[in-house]
Structure 1
Amino acid sequence: MNFNELLAHWHSIVFIIFCIVAFIQIFYYLFFYTRLAFYKAKPKATSQTHPVSVIICARDEAANLAKNLPGSLLQQYRTTHEVIVVDDNSFDDSKYLLEEFKKEFKQLTFVELKQEAKLIPGKKFPLSIGIKTAKYEIVLLTDADCVPASEFWIDKMQETYDDDTEIVLGYGAYIKKHGLLNKLVRWETFHTALQYFSYALAGKPYMGVGRNLSYKKTVFFRHKGFSAHNNIPSGDDDLFINMAATKKNTKINIDKDAFTLSEPVTTWGQWTRQKTRHYSTGKYYKPLHKFLLGLYSLSHFLFFPLLMVSAIFYCWQWALIVFGIRFVIQAVIYLPAMKKLNEKDLYPLFLFFDLWMFFYYLIFAVALIKKPTNTWK
């Protein structure tokens, strides 16, 4: 068949490409995402509690510390633990607020940094100081704008550890509020978690979120901390996990008592800056992870345009059959996955969110080539 004949059958070729793209999407749902949707934590034969160091880095976060820090300080945890706040060159009243908290909570330690680490932009230097200050092997990380979802957060997160486990990935949810932006923020957070939890369960962990993440100091120092990517302002969570996590040393925890909650952004500009900062680190992932994530995103991006072209120019019945198969698989997987992450209210709108992802990829594609900013707030 020559080029002119191929051109004459272009609509058939588009439909074939559409079927290939749909197959790729379905493969990801069935091979990866079913793992989270139908995940059940294995009961442990023995239970052991470990000393834990909670670490929070803060810069000009007095208001958030006043509101959220008590959630970490008032945890019901029967084993030794400490809460370390690293005050990174704040100009507000964080120091005085922490001094007052220290009078009431003896488990609180705060480290005041008075000089910038010129060659280490972002959060990595204060976080490294916090980890080096920690007395205990297990460190549990969160942010100043986060609050534990329950008083058993420390207990539930550390419960995941066994002799082989060095990293525990938790879920950092956003508080539910009215409005479209809130739903889009929570959808994107759910969709990202669906990916990184499922990949971890498939033995290919590639990231975690600093809002709720735990690992052992041993694995941190074995990989020389953040030295491999100290020049990159962001990535203190995902780039470190991408480097250090393996099939054997990483577990997930999706117990609702182990979640953290954060105030979501309230403007589109804030959200765009936040996500751009996150996606600017994706180019530094391991090649396999970049390939898997990139193939999924590309197929997701192409799905709806190819669906429209196939329905208009080829055969709308066949196009709808392919769409329907993918839709049913999504519906079966999304419901239990959303229940597990306490995002069930998003389920009736999942088709809208799925279509929204086409525009989402357009908006944030530039972040993949953009140089990361030099701030961590």
Structure 2
Amino acid sequence: MILPLLFLYTFIGIALINIGYYILFANYSFSKVSRGSTKANFPISIIVCSKNEEKNLQENIPLWLAQNYHNFELILINDSSSDNTLSVIEKFSNQDSRIKVVDVKNIEAFWANKKYALTLGLKKAINNNLLFTDADCKPASNSWLEEMASHFNQEKQLVLGYGPYINNKGFLNALIRFETLITAIQYFSYAKANNPYMGVGRNLAYTSELYYKNNGFMSHIKITSGDDDLFVNEVATKTNVAICDTPESFTYSVPKKTWKAWILQKRRHITTVSHYKTKHKIALGAYYISTLLFWIGVAMSFFILNWIVALTIVATRVLFQYISVGKGAKKLQESNLILWIPFLELFLICFQMFIFISNSISKPSPWK
């Protein structure tokens, strides 16, 4: 009798922790789309770091140049590519004076370190306001630059954007998009709660003043990943961050098409979490552990508890999840994932556990 009762209280406690996070997420999910307060009219630099991206650059450089913004430069960085990336960049630069070329050569101290390449690109920028994206990212509209820039002001020096993945067929694609969605809801929610902790380099803007004041990436230059989230985690405050989540401001990327490729990507990304501020590691860790324990509890509850009691706890928690995450999914243009949210979460939790175990056994490969 004591064991079932102890399990019941524990299971309810875990479900309540989950619900607490969903209430936090709902604060963002149910808020209005964040639009800039003023129409931007200042110069801005778009910075793109590329490594073996000749095909994507052929497709996306024209899209970046076609932005409806009166004054910007496009800094294209060739990070020691072994394909025709440099040739593609130089071809476009000969056609448009707004393009600046940065050709990075490998040096032993910073081999395969994207931060070194970005640092050289940043030094080339002549404007204080900087907008970052990746070579494989397509802006959702010709207003992408204007939307992101409109959030800069004297106080806001860091703008968090959203970089979803293109919707294709298959379970892997759905899982990748769900993981991206959950991550975005989290970092937008924390930022809205005045506790920002990360952003994604696929769609991120900040000032060079903020960059140089922080000594760039120096505090984590030897960590091959984290040019986006570690930098944001270090410099973001409750007052200097703005959210830009208008559909016109999204940047879409092609997701990995094989499990192996995605696993390698996530193994690199997850190594940065251990370098976050302690308060963020605790908050994110509690969310992951409570979610994992909830699903373990679901499997056990129907054997230990009365099925009506077990079903009530599970249904209540899942209902909060559907309301909070579902609203966020609709807001971020991922409505077709809503029906499958609990199932995708379960698979994602198992996948993340696999990544944690893999990284504890061996180090992931660096920036390609």
TM score, norm. by length of structure 2 = 0.96
Rounded Cα–Cα distance in structure 2 between residues aligned with 1:25 and 1:285: 22
Rounded Cα–Cα distance in structure 2 between residues aligned with 1:47 and 1:105: 25
Give CA-to-partner distance per residue, 1:179-232, whole Å, 9 cap, x none: 111111100100111111111111111111111100000110111000001110
Give CA-to-partner distance per residue, 1:256-302, whole Å, 9 cap, x none: 11000101100000011111110011100000000000000000001
- What residue ranges of structure 2 are gaps of 5+ in the alignment? none
Rounded Cα–Cα distance in structure 2 between residues aligned with 1:87 and 1:130: 9
Residue 250 of structure 1 deviates from its aligned partner by 0.6
Q: 2:51 aligns with which of 30, 52, 59?
A: 59
Contact 1:232 1:372 in 2 (8 A): no
Rounded Cα–Cα distance in structure 2 between residues aligned with 1:241 and 1:316: 45
Number of equivalenced pairs: 368
Distance verdict in 2 for CA 1:177–1:129, change over 3 Å: same
Q: Residue 172 of structure 1 aligns to a residue in which SS?
A: coil
Contact 1:69 1:147 in 2 (8 A): no
Look up the match of 1:329. Answer: 320
Please give the root-mean-square deviation of Cα atoms over the aligned residues, in Å: 1.7
Give CA-to-partner distance per residue, 1:113-152, whole Å, 9 cap, x none: 2232524652000101111111101110011111111111
Look up the match of 2:349. Answer: 358
Q: Say which is worse superposed, 102-111 or 239-248, in terms of deviation.
A: 102-111
Look up the match of 1:24. Answer: 17
Q: Counterparts in 2 of 1:38-117, with a 5 A limit?
A: 38-41=30-33, 46-78=38-70, 80-116=71-107
Equivalent AA in structure 2 for residue 77 of structure 1:
Y
Give CA-to-partner distance per residue, 1:287-328, whole Å, 9 cap, x none: 000000000000000102112322211222111111111122
Rounded Cα–Cα distance in structure 2 between residues aligned with 1:150 and 1:28: 32
Rounded Cα–Cα distance in structure 2 between residues aligned with 1:99 and 1:46: 35
Rounded Cα–Cα distance in structure 1 between residues aligned with 2:29 and 2:208: 31
Distance verdict in 2 for CA 1:280–1:311, change over 3 Å: same
Contact 2:48 2:135 in 1 (8 A): yes
Rounded Cα–Cα distance in structure 2 between residues aligned with 1:97 and 1:304: 49
Q: Residue 32 of structure 2 aligns to a residue in which SS?
A: coil
Q: Does 2:24 align with 1:37?
A: no
Rounded Cα–Cα distance in structure 2 between residues aligned with 1:276 and 1:84: 29
Equivalent AA in structure 2 for residue 143 of structure 1:
D
Look up the match of 2:184. Answer: 193
Give CA-to-partner distance per residue, 1:38-88, whole Å, 9 cap, x none: 12256666433221100001112111111222111111112x100000111
Q: 2:310 aligns with which of 312, 319, 323?
A: 319
Q: Does 2:207 align with 1:234?
A: no
Look up the match of 1:5. Answer: none
Q: Say which is worse superposed, 304-313 or 200-209, in terms of deviation.
A: 304-313
Rounded Cα–Cα distance in structure 1 between residues aligned with 2:299 and 2:263: 28
Contact 1:169 1:252 in 2 (8 A): yes
Residue 251 of structure 1 deviates from its aligned partner by 1.1
Residue 100 of structure 1 deviates from its aligned partner by 1.4
What is the percentage of aligned positions where both structures have the same residue? 36
Q: Does 2:175 align with 1:181?
A: no
Look up the match of 2:198. Answer: 207
Contact 1:86 1:130 in 2 (8 A): yes
Look up the match of 2:8. Answer: 15
Rounded Cα–Cα distance in structure 2 between residues aligned with 1:224 and 1:338: 36
- What residue ranges of structure 1 are gaps of 5+ in the alignment? 1-7
